[in-house]
Amino acid sequence: MVKVRAAETEDSQLVAGLRATWAAEQDPAATNDPDYERAVADWMAANPRKFFVAEHNGQLVGMLNLMVFQRMPKPQRPASCWVYIGNVYVLPAHRNAGIGAELMDAAIRFSEGISAARIVLSPSSEAQTFYQRLGFEPAGELSVRRLG
């Protein structure tokens, strides 16, 4: 049985391991980095994000993180927020079993719980139908300037 939960600080090495596995899927040479785990721990400490992880038999098999962006208040209108979701990943052996949907459900419930105005993400082309099934749609109101 899979359990989705909020990640704890002590999960940082396990989250780093999932991220390394994901990177190795795209580039097998990416696994040879002795400073990687420390870099992830430093990144997690410097970037206040909420992580959700999926556990199966005590092993992390999936993750996602989200960042809450606080909007500046306006006169006669309280401050609000929106959420950006990134780094959604499930180990290959555990895909197509509903784990990604459970992780996203946790993120959606969290976002609703903080009264976020919207959730934004940037899906890969392979993941677009997955997110559409969860109610996400292309957003035409955003503009992007790509750098580098």
Q: Are strands 81-90 and 119-121 parallel, antiparallel or unpaired?
A: parallel
Q: Domain 2-133 sits in which CATH superfamily?
A: Gcn5-related N-acetyltransferase (GNAT) (3.40.630.30)
Reported pTM: 0.87
Q: Which residue stretches of the chain are H helix?
A: 12-26, 36-46, 99-113, 128-133
Of residues 138 and 89, the one with the higher pLDDT is: 89
Q: Kindly report the average pLDDT of the chain as a whole number.
A: 89
Sheet with 81-90, side-by-side order of all strands = 2-6, 50-56, 59-70, 81-90, 119-121
DSSP, res 17:
H
What length is written for the chain?
148
Q: What confidence tier does 144 reach under pLDDT thresholds 50, 70, 90?
A: confident
pLDDT at 29: 76
When computed from its CA atoms, the radius of gyration of the chain, rounded to whole angstroms, is 16
The pLDDT tens digits of the residues spanning 7-60 come to: 987 888 888 889 989 888 888 877 778 888 788 878 888 888 899 999 999 899
